[in-house]
Structure 1
């Protein structure tokens, strides 16, 4: 399978914790659908201290995985909010 485009999309979104509203990432998202995965190379600003855990409430919001040979975070449904 093809790897994701390194340059990536132009649109940026703010990703925050659904429970405590703490900002987690600023991310270059492609497409208009729901946030299912975040490729690590597309994250512009990372506000987390421990990978995949919210710095505010320490809730796990994603799992580290490899998607199409590229490291990514697979989001757990309902744990994050995107705007």
Structure 2
């Protein structure tokens, strides 16, 4: 059996955009092209359309950390901390 390399996320990405807000103070964080209908677990950096943060993974209003920087399948991404963000 041949081992297959894990697929990278689609470069163009999905068309549907969502707004991501801080769950604590409701400040806008990102406008993001999300694929699928599941919960927001990770954000690929290349899919972020608008970035409202001053410091990576930190809310510009209340300075709470809402995500951690990581590499997912070799692509830079932010792994969301449960309950820290909400998406609409």
5 Å-filtered alignment, 1:1-83, equals 1-83=6-88
Matched residue pairs, number?
83
Cα deviation per residue 1:38-65 (whole Å; 9 max; x = unaligned)?
Answer: 0000000000000000000000000000
Name stretches of at least 5 consecutive residues in structure 1 with no aligned partner.
none
Cα deviation per residue 1:1-29 (whole Å; 9 max; x = unaligned)?
Answer: 11100100010000000000000000000
Name stretches of at least 5 consecutive residues in structure 2 with no aligned partner.
1-5
TM-score under structure 1 length normalisation: 0.99
TM-score under structure 2 length normalisation: 0.94
Moved over 4 A (4+): none
Structure label with greater radius of gyration: 2
Question: How far apart, CA to CA, are the structure 1 residues paired with 2:11 and 2:25?
Answer: 31
